[in-house]
Copies of this chain bind each other. A is one copy, B any other.
């Protein structure tokens, strides 16, 4: 199980819940995990992983300058590394984590989205998708009933926005998960 995992989904599929569950599974067996989330995502407070089901928990944060290898050390006594909002990793950080999982034999499980509101991949997601030893989709639903796999951004009136910066932190009020058919139909 010492591999790099990428659990990807559209927004609001339950990625943080799944991450917190895995942490619980390890800790219940007396094993030690480390949790990370992106410093940039402060919707729920800095360094906090929050599930829409109402559970939340503190986590370490990473930003562009963060050195995972230095932070994680030899991996001695570490059962698992869990990373939320992993689309915000830099390509070099993903490479670092892949090498770490494989050579230190500690599973690294990343949760994130694949593409932004324009359907363009995040730099971190590109490398997570290209290198992960195990890709698994977490499913959620589009309003039309199909599987949502894309994300759209809306303005304050709920109107779909098609241009703008890739990163704009927001929740349900700014983003809508949709299936690919609805994404292209507009």
Interface residues of A (CB under 8 A from B): 1, 3-4, 12-14, 17-18, 20-22, 24-26, 28-29, 31, 51-55, 79, 95, 98-99, 102-103, 114-115, 119-121, 125-127, 129-131, 133, 135, 137, 140-141, 143, 145-147, 149, 172, 180-181, 184-185
Contact = CB atoms under 8 A, between A and B. Distances in A.
B131 A129 contact: no
A108 to B, nearest CB: 12
Copies in the complex: 4
B147 A53 contact: no
A131 B133 CA distance: 19
A1 B51 CA distance: 24
Contacts of A98: 180, 184
Contacts of A20: 53
Contacts of A99: 184
A21 B185 CA distance: 28
